Structure 1
Amino acid sequence: MTGPRVVVLDYGSGNLRSAQRALARVGADVTVTSDLAAGGAADGLVVPGVGAFAACMAGIAAVGGAAVIRGRITRGQPVLGICVGMQVLYDLGDEHGVRTPGLGVLTGEVRRLDAPILPHMGWNTVAPPADTVLFDGLPADTRFYFVHSYAAKAEPGDTVAEHGEPFAAAVERGPLCATQFHPEKSGDAGIHLLANWLRTLS
């Protein structure tokens, strides 16, 4: 018996294979592809992302990915954004004074963190809401692996982390989940979180 069918959207960004391996480890039937039909039909769609906001948005546009991501969320089909794959879900990214429209499925702007040391790179604790699904069963002092200089402000109900200032470390909005940290690089804690997400697909 195969697990839930998960597509990792390949639009030219990084961390595809590590995400694929981590999801396979928790029982997903994973495909890395730019095939939008496969992305639309899968039980879950993962939107990865590393590097610059504008470059990731250009990559998504090049493969026509915006429509499938927005369409899945509108239809209530699960989507998981990771790192810059979370950031592009917001209205706007502001990097080095360049303001790039995002996918607009989350309200807000992604801006440079006001912190003495950037990038924020390493392990950090997070504060999830009481009704969290992603972090269910994880102790309060669990640490996740972050690599970023930009983030969105947390809205009520978001998971919060702090580096110089509080920011949105994860969001859970019905079919839409996203993490600013890399669960696929976060050891057993990240695997636990991905297993929690996979359970929402069945």
Structure 2
Amino acid sequence: MKDDEIIIIDYHIGNLNSIANMIRKVGGKCKISSEVDDILEAKKLILPGVGSFDHGMSQLIKSDLGDAIEEKALKDKIPFLGICLGAQLLTKGSEEGNINGLGWLDSDTVRFNLDDRPELKIPHMGWAEIKRNKKSALLENLDDQSRFYFVHTYHFKPKRTDLILTTSQYGNYEFASALSKDNIYGVQFHPEKSHKFGMQLMTNFLRI
């Protein structure tokens, strides 16, 4: 493995190739892997994912990668990025299912409450701007007009506001769209589908 190679965790869920293509497009090196040895040697990790929370956690448990991932993220404290469902799995759990999440971030994952907003449909699908809540190397050269692509029915509900990296709006509904704690980052949006803004975010992750 190359020293600067990012490992994209393959637990048989999500579009891994589009993330790999984005990393390569901005000059990074990456490898899609489901091997424990690759995880343990990694300098950076990305946990992708699309679909339901319980299915994602079940697949991660079935992969037998959990201990290795936790060792790298919580003990070795390498840069760790969760994307979409992969970010939700970093929370304590989701209203969508019954299986506990990894619990690295003190947040729940909750369904959009749009009862008083009948004009808004779920899933929330499309482009939305991010508003920075705190300074972070992941957001270098990205301002509050930066737009990212979203497809989701559930969103973060952090128990501590200092976890909130960015917020976004769906109509007049504001939600936390990215969280961070130390070396761990979780983004609800899809940087790999977000053109120049996603390229900048991935470039930033490469530089962390």
TM-score by length of 1: 0.92
Quick check: 64-73 or 9-18, which moved more?
64-73
Query: 1:161 Cα deviation (Å)?
Result: 1.3
SS in 1 for 2:19: helix
Residue identity matched to 1:160: T
Residue identity matched to 1:66: G
Conserved 8 A contact 2:178-2:186: yes
Paired with 2:99 and 2:169, the residues of 1 have a C-alpha distance of 25
SS in 2 for 1:23: helix
Paired with 1:47 and 1:53, the residues of 2 have a C-alpha distance of 13
Conserved 8 A contact 2:105-2:181: no
Paired with 1:48 and 1:76, the residues of 2 have a C-alpha distance of 18
Q: Give the aligned partner of residue 39 of structure 1.
A: 39
Query: 1:132 Cα deviation (Å)?
Result: 2.0
2:176 is the counterpart of 1:168: yes
TM-score by length of 2: 0.89
Identity %: 32
SS in 2 for 1:69: helix
SS in 2 for 1:172: strand
Provide, for residues 75-129 of structure 1, a one-character-per-residue CA deviation record: whole Å limited to 9, x for no partner: 211111000000000011111xx32200111112111111331000000011113
Paired with 2:81 and 2:207, the residues of 1 have a C-alpha distance of 13
Q: Give the aligned partner of residue 156 of structure 1.
A: 161
Q: Give the aligned partner of residue 19 of structure 1.
A: 19
Shift in alpha-carbon separation, 1:134–1:100, aligned structure 2, 3 A: same
Kindly tell me the number of residue pairs found equivalent between the two proteins.
197
2:112 is the counterpart of 1:104: no
Instruction: Work out which of the residue numbers 151, 168, 179 in structure 1 matches 2:187.
Output: 179
Unaligned runs of 5+ in 1: none
Provide, for residues 120-178 of structure 1, a one-character-per-residue CA deviation record: whole Å limited to 9, x for no partner: 00000111134122121123211100000001124423111122632221122221111
Superposed structure 1 runs of 4+ greater than 3 Å apart: none
Provide, for residues 31-70 of structure 1, a one-character-per-residue CA deviation record: whole Å limited to 9, x for no partner: 1110121012111111000000011101101111221222
Q: CA RMSD in A?
A: 1.5
Q: Give the aligned partner of residue 137 of structure 2.
A: 133
Paired with 1:65 and 1:120, the residues of 2 have a C-alpha distance of 31
Conserved 8 A contact 1:3-1:28: no
Conserved 8 A contact 2:178-2:187: yes
Conserved 8 A contact 2:131-2:143: no
Paired with 2:3 and 2:23, the residues of 1 have a C-alpha distance of 10
Residue identity matched to 2:112: L
Residue identity matched to 1:93: S
Query: 1:19 Cα deviation (Å)?
Result: 0.4
Unaligned runs of 5+ in 2: 115-119
SS in 1 for 2:137: coil
Conserved 8 A contact 2:107-2:156: yes
Quick check: 31-40 or 191-200, which moved more?
31-40
